[in-house]
């Protein structure tokens, strides 16, 4: 019997009439991923760039969150053909590719997610969870319907090219990363510096002009609310490891430092 895959994050954004708030999963733990999935957040980012995640742990986390409402995205470590092929074959329907600064880089990433003759994704649907081992009817010919592609702008050059990046066919949304953006501007660790915020807003304007959804990372609640008011459609507002770090510090402060 043919199977149907879940709607993509592209589809969810198109249906939403509000900003979607998400959580970052950096621990590499499927248990923590499932805890985050049951939190009531709208979406989750399973990270391979700054977290101890390989293919097996990403697969375990996709399984762990599959029964819950939040939509999972997988951030690959780099825009590379083999890595993207493998992550898609795991069944990740939504990917985020970091450090995209030019339209050509964005165009190349889209090609990595499409089968020939349009792109250069390797064909392995009979062997892979992506097509549920060929149980998803027409997957090879309708692959673009089942995969959404998001790219991450996190350099000053990327900000300058934001509209052109967002206009590349097959780019479903653009996520702005203030941390690396601040570093590229000589403001390392100053994500809420006025110049960084201004650059983020410039990126927003370019992405909006292209008619694409806008995303951003903002762990500071005030910054997150400001970005939502400025037109961000999806925002990362916390990470599992940061929640654990701050929560354990509060316990220590309450029971040890105060004694």
- Tell me the catalytic residues: 50
Q: Locate 46 and state its tokens.
A: 């399973």
Residues 6+ apart with CB under 8 A from 203: 153, 158, 159, 162, 174, 176, 214
Q: Are 146 and 170 in contact (CB under 8 A)?
A: no
DSSP string, 2-14: ---PPPPHHHHHH
Distances (CA, A) of 33 to 88, 123, 145, 197, 217: 19, 29, 26, 30, 19
Q: Judge residue 60's burial from the number of C-beta atoms within 10 Å of its C-beta, 0-12 exposed, 13-18 middle, 19 or more buried.
A: middle
Alpha-carbon span 192 to 188, nearest angstrom: 11
DSSP state of 74: E
Backbone angles phi, psi at 216, to 5 degrees: -160, 155
Q: Locate 55 and state its tokens.
A: 């293919």
Distances (CA, A) of 236 to 23, 121, 126, 218: 6, 29, 34, 6
DSSP state of 53: -
């Amino acid at each position: 019997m043919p199977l149907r895959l879940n709607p993509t994050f592209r589809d969810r954004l198109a249906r939403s009439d509000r900003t979607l708030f998400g959580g970052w999963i950096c621990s590499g733990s499927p248990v923590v991923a499932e805890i985050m999935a049951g939190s009531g957040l709208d979406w989750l980012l399973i990270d391979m760039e700054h977290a101890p995640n390989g293919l097996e742990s990403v697969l375990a986390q996709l399984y762990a969150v599959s029964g819950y409402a939040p939509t999972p995205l997988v951030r690959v470590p780099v825009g590379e053909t083999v890595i993207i092929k493998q992550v898609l074959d795991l069944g990740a329907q939504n990917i985020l590719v970091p450090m995209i600064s030019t339209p050509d880089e964005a165009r190349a990433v889209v090609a990595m997610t499409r089968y020939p003759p349009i792109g250069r994704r390797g064909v392995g649907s009979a062997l892979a969870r992506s097509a549920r081992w060929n149980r998803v009817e027409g997957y090879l010919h309708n692959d673009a319907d089942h995969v959404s592609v998001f790219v991450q702008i996190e350099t000053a050059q990327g900000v300058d090219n934001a509209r052109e990046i967002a206009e590349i066919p097959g780019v479903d949304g653009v996520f702005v990363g203030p941390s690396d953006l601040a570093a590229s501007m000589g403001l390392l660790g100053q994500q809420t510096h006025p110049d960084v915020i201004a650059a983020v807003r410039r990126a927003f304007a370019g992405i909006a002009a292209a008619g694409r959804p806008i995303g951003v990372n903002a762990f500071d609640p005030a910054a997150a609310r400001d970005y939502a008011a400025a037109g961000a459609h999806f925002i990362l507002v916390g990470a599992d490891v940061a929640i654990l770090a701050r929560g354990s510090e509060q316990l220590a402060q309450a029971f040890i430092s105060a004694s």
